[in-house]
């Protein structure tokens, strides 16, 4: 189990990464709702939504 300090550290890191992601989307004029990243115990996964035309 994670200690309170480790949970806080993980939360700060996650918030910083998310802010960086949204800033990059804004700079590159990308729709942040169409791109997102998830993490689980095995690693990082990137998902790019394919629009239906």
Q: What pLDDT sits at residue 12?
A: 93
Backbone conformation region of residue 17, classed left if phi is above 0, alpha if psi is from -120 to 50, else beta: alpha
Q: What pLDDT sits at residue 22?
A: 82
The string of DSSP letters for 22-47 reads: HHHHHHTT--GGGEEEEEETTEEEEE
d(CA 40, CA 50): 22
Full pLDDT tens readout for the chain, 53 residues: 789 999 999 999 989 988 888 888 788 777 666 666 666 666 555 666 666 65
Q: What pLDDT sits at residue 50?
A: 67
d(CA 48, CA 53): 15
pTM over 0.75: no
């Amino acid at each position: 189990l994670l200690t309170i300090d480790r949970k806080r550290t993980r939360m700060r890191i996650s918030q910083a990464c998310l802010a960086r992601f949204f800033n990059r989307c804004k700079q590159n004029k990308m729709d942040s709702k169409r791109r997102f990243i998830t993490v689980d115990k095995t690693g990082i996964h990137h998902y790019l939504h394919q629009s239906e035309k």
